[in-house]
Amino acid sequence: MPGLRYTPAEYALTRVVETFGNLLFTLHEHNLIHTYRVVFRFAQLENIDYLVLQYLNAGLLPFEEFSGEESWYEEN
């Protein structure tokens, strides 16, 4: 039996959240904190910031060392 199936809207939202999470990680990695804050503010305005933080906190990113580091993206 196949695993979890998403509706088209759920799948699109999952991809958007994943993209924002990966972008935030990349911005932080390159020390682009101002740009990071602008992108995170956009996520807040789109009302997906809680999903992006949940994505980051769950450690779903491919970078294992990142999943334990939670303090930098909780700051606004």
Q: What is the pLDDT at residue 61? A: 47
pTM above threshold 0.85:
no
Q: What is the pLDDT at residue 68? A: 45
End-to-end CA distance of the chain: 42
pLDDT tens, the chain, 76 aa long: 356 787 888 888 888 888 988 898 888 889 888 988 888 899 899 898 888 888 877 765 444 434 444 444 444 4
Q: What is the pLDDT at residue 67? A: 41
Beta carbons within 8 Å of 19's beta carbon, 6+ residues apart: none
Q: What is the pLDDT at residue 28? A: 85
Q: Which structure tokens are listed for 68?
A: 């334990």
Q: Which structure tokens are listed for 27?
A: 């911005």
Phi, psi for 2 (deg, rounded to 5): -65, 160
**Cα separation of 24 and 16, whole Å?**
12
